[in-house]
């Protein structure tokens, strides 16, 4: 069977390997889980944004298939070393790390060396031991070691395969890090055709206003939009507009501070081969109370982006951009998904304010919405799995179930919401509910139609088609951001020149649909059902108080049947035999 011809690479091919290599019913933290690091055919090449890799596994947060995607430099380096994929099975009987240098790969003891250290200290220690400042490292922090359910894999200090708890799976396997040095280069099938296709795609992307906007302000400018539109989750989705949004948005990052005259934002930065450069570099206000936690936090490092800003500010009701910046730094340092951490803390704050938990459970933490002190202390505890941080490390679903208030968890399939409320963005509501990895803003593209107020009747088709497109793009080894300018023809031209195989836009879309159904089959075999294609009670029943969706709830029941029908699934959300045969899955 030609798996590469059916699944291409990265997300698609790794998902196929995962489905073949493991029993989907195995516990995510058991030896039966499989952890795959995979690149695509454009990773490590000059294709714009061609630096992406994915981590595919059964998610510790969700019990569903997880595909977590990261940029930075690590993915490109892995391909430069000549590797397409690393598959980790079983469990080491002691903590180890993997060192790859071109064709050589060796496991080293991590105990007494980097086990027990943060991501940042791990990177420094590995570069020193191997006497090479150019090696690239993907590792877990102490959150991953302590099996925090939303622990992530961090590469290059502040880029992360962030979602679904892939770092906890790595921790459960006693694998601390994968350090890579590659000097071989990446060969492509048709060098002349590849140069032509890459140049044409760059010529399309480079002058676009969308590219310029992302370069200028990063993704955090979305916060001004969701605030204006009324889809900015605030205080655990009890509101969708935050009265202090202007204090934590793009303008606040760039503004001169009254305290020291400096700015939170230092610069932008780009991942491997990226011509956009949406990444942010920030520097914490040295006079802020959180800076007392150590000199390391006063240095320039990865800054707030939209998702981290939403989760660490409006979602927890906090208007202190420096506290949010500190919390984001600790998430990078200890390897935690800032979306899930912020949304879990938000749920804990609602538990606290409604009396479901008190000082006894929190160890004295005053978990009030708006408390920057609570954010700063909580993130440190969660990163280390200490005190109430162990509870926070459960994620919102398990935390709220533990304290008898499951409806406080803003999750789908156990994964916390990104920064969009589905009551004013109905397409996003459907995208969250049907995402194979749980609530996700990156597995479909309903944004434009949602912001235009498109009719409910059209949502299923938009979500269905964009889910297929995204799955195809995720399998190529590039970022989704060029897709505001490119279409699948642009991607297919680059892919086909890179690896051959006759790729076209139509074949890419069909492959995306195949991948979506493969993931769905994995989830069904893992025990998930159509009952998991749902949203929290709040989103389904509590009407919005303000914004463009005022008076609305998520109309999932009106969209889901049409979505199942388009997918070729039965009423229980199971792919029909005809669908599976059409996609060569049966």
Q: With respect to another protein, which residue has the nearer C-beta, 217 or 244?
A: 217
To another protein, the closest distance from the beta carbon of 455 in angstroms equals 10
CA distances for 207 relative to 219, 418, 485, 493, 547, angstroms: 18, 29, 10, 20, 33
Report the distance separating Cα 455 and Cα 138, nearest Å: 43
Q: Interface with another protein includes 251 (CB under 8 A)?
A: yes
Q: Interface with another protein includes 430 (CB under 8 A)?
A: no
Q: Interface with another protein includes 219 (CB under 8 A)?
A: yes
Interface with another protein (CB under 8 A), residue from 210, 353, 510, 555 = 210
Could you tell me which residues are beta bridge partners of residue 282? 265, 301
User: Phi first, then psi: what are they for 269, rounded to 5°?
Assistant: -155, 160
Q: Which residues from 272-311 bind another protein, rule CB under 8 A?
A: 305-307
Interface with another protein (CB under 8 A), residue from 58, 99, 380, 441 = 441
Q: Interface with another protein includes 207 (CB under 8 A)?
A: no
Interface with another protein (CB under 8 A), residue from 56, 222, 375, 553 = 222
Q: Which residues from 530-549 bind another protein, rule CB under 8 A?
A: 547-548
Report the distance separating Cα 562 and Cα 440, nearest Å: 20
Which listed range, 39-47, 285-293, 367-375, 444-452, lies at the site for another protein (CB under 8 A)?
Answer: 444-452
Q: With respect to another protein, which residue has the nearer C-beta, 484 or 504?
A: 484
User: Phi first, then psi: what are they for 73, rounded to 5°?
Assistant: -110, -15
CA neighbor of 128 nearest in space, from 77, 179, 72, 76: 179
Interface with another protein (CB under 8 A), residue from 550, 571, 572, 581 = 550
Residue 578: CB atoms within 10 A of its CB come to: 10
Residue-by-residue DSSP string for 31-45 = TT--EEEEE-TTTTS
To another protein, the closest distance from the beta carbon of 438 in angstroms equals 17
Binding mask 164-203 for another protein (x = CB under 8 A): ----------------------------------------
3-state class (DSSP) for residue 419: coil
Q: Which residues from 451-470 bind another protein, rule CB under 8 A?
A: 451-454
Q: Interface with another protein includes 387 (CB under 8 A)?
A: no
Sheet of 104-109, strands arranged across: 104-109, 96-101, 175-181, 136-139, 153-155, 159-161
Q: With respect to another protein, which residue has the nearer C-beta, 52 or 288?
A: 52
User: Containing H/E element for 210?
Assistant: helix 209-217
3-state class (DSSP) for residue 422: coil
Give just the sign of the alpha carbon dihedral 533, 424, 368, 418.
positive
Report the distance separating Cα 190 and Cα 193, nearest Å: 5
Which listed range, 6-14, 18-26, 204-212, 392-400, lies at the site for another protein (CB under 8 A)?
Answer: 204-212
Q: With respect to another protein, which residue has the nearer C-beta, 2 or 452?
A: 452
Interface with another protein (CB under 8 A), residue from 26, 85, 228, 585 = 228
Q: Which two tokens stand for residue 552?
A: 């609305």
CA distances for 559 relative to 41, 46, 458, 462, angstroms: 35, 40, 9, 11
Radius of gyration of the chain (CA): 22
Q: Which two tokens stand for residue 498?
A: 């890179």
Q: Is 203 exposed, middle or buried (0-12, 13-18, 19+ CB in 10 A)?
A: exposed
Interface with another protein (CB under 8 A), residue from 92, 484, 504, 530 = 484
Structure letter (DSSP) for residue 46: S
To another protein, the closest distance from the beta carbon of 419 in angstroms equals 7
CA distances for 109 relative to 155, 157, 252, 295, angstroms: 20, 21, 45, 29
Q: Interface with another protein includes 268 (CB under 8 A)?
A: no
Q: Interface with another protein includes 221 (CB under 8 A)?
A: yes
Q: Interface with another protein includes 113 (CB under 8 A)?
A: no
Q: Interface with another protein includes 509 (CB under 8 A)?
A: no
Cα–Cα–Cα angle for 222, 396, 391, rounded to 5 degrees: 125
Residue with tokens 């951009």: 321
Binding mask 334-373 for another protein (x = CB under 8 A): ----------------------------------------
To another protein, the closest distance from the beta carbon of 228 in angstroms equals 5
Interface with another protein (CB under 8 A), residue from 67, 98, 197, 220 = 220
3-state class (DSSP) for residue 560: helix
Interface with another protein (CB under 8 A), residue from 209, 261, 355, 502 = 209
To another protein, the closest distance from the beta carbon of 374 in angstroms equals 25
Q: With respect to another protein, which residue has the nearer C-beta, 377 or 445?
A: 445
Q: Which residues bind another protein (CB under 8 A)?
A: 209-210, 212-213, 216-217, 219-222, 224-225, 227-230, 250-251, 305-307, 419, 441-442, 445, 447-448, 451-454, 480-481, 483-484, 547-548, 550
């Amino acid at each position: 069977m030609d798996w590469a011809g059916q699944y291409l690479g990265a997300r698609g091919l790794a998902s196929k390997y995962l489905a073949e290599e493991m029993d989907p019913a195995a516990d995510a933290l058991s030896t039966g889980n499989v952890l795959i690091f995979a690149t695509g055919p454009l990773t490590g090449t000059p294709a714009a944004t061609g630096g992406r890799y994915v981590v595919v596994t059964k998610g510790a947060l969700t019990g569903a298939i997880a595909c977590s995607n990261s940029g930075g430099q690590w993915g490109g380096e892995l391909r430069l070393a000549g590797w397409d994929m690393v598959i980790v099975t079983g469990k080491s009987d002691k903590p180890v790390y993997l060192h790859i240098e071109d064709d050589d790969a060796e496991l080293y003891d991590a105990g007494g060396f980097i086990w027990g250290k943060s991501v940042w200290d791990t990177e420094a220690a590995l570069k020193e031991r191997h006497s090479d400042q150019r090696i690239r490292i993907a590792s877990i922090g102490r959150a991953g070691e302590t099996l925090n359910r939303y622990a992530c894999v961090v590469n290059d200090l502040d880029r992360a395969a962030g979602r679904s708890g892939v770092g906890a799976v790595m921790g459960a396997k006693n694998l601390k890090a994968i350090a890579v040095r590659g000097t071989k280069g990446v060969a492509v099938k048709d060098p002349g055709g590849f140069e032509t296709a890459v140049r044409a795609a760059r010529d399309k992307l480079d002058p676009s206003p969308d590219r310029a906007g992302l370069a200028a302000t990063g993704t955090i400018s979305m916060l001004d939009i969701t605030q204006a539109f009324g889809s900015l989750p605030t205080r655990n989705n009890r509101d969708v507009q935050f009265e202090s949004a202007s204090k934590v948005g793009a303008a606040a990052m760039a503004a001169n501070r009254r305290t020291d005259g400096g700015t939170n934002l230092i610069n932008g930065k780009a991942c491997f081969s990226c011509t956009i450069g949406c990444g942010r570099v920030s520097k914490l206000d040295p006079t802020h109370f959180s800076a007392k936690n150590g000199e390391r936090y006063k240095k320039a490092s990865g800054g707030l982006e939209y998702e981290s800003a939403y989760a660490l500010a409006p979602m927890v009701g906090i208007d202190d951009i420096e506290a949010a910046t500190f919390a984001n730094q600790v998430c990078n340092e200890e390897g935690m998904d800032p979306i899930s951490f912020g949304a879990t803390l938000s749920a804990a704050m609602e538990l606290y304010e409604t009396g479901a938990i008190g000082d006894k459970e929190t160890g004295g933490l005053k978990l009030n919405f708006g408390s920057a002190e609570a954010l700063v202390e909580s993130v440190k505890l969660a990163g280390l799995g200490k005190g109430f941080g162990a509870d926070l490390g459960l994620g919102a679903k398990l935390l709220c179930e533990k304290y008898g208030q499951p409806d406080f968890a803003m999750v789908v399939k156990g994964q916390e919401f990104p920064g969009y409320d589905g009551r004013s963005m109905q397409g996003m509501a459907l995208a969250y509910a049907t995402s194979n990895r749980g609530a996700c803003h990156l597995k479909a593209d309903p944004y434009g139609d949602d912001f235009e107020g498109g009719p409910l009747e059209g949502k299923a088709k938009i979500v269905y088609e964009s889910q297929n497109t995204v799955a195809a793009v995720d399998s190529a080894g590039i970022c989704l951001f060029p897709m505001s300018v490119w279409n699948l023809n642009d991607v297919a031209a680059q892919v086909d020149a890179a690896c051959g195989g006759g790729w076209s836009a139509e074949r890419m879309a069909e492959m995306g649909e195949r991948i979506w159904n493969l993931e769905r089959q994995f989830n069904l075999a893992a025990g998930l059902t159509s009952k998991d294609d749902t949203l929290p009670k709040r989103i389904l029943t509590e009407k919005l108080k303000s914004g463009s969706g005022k008076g609305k709830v998520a109309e999932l029941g009106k969209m889901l049947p049409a979505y199942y029908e388009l997918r070729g699934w039965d009423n229980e959300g199971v792919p029909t035999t005809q669908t599976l045969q059409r996609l060569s899955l049966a």
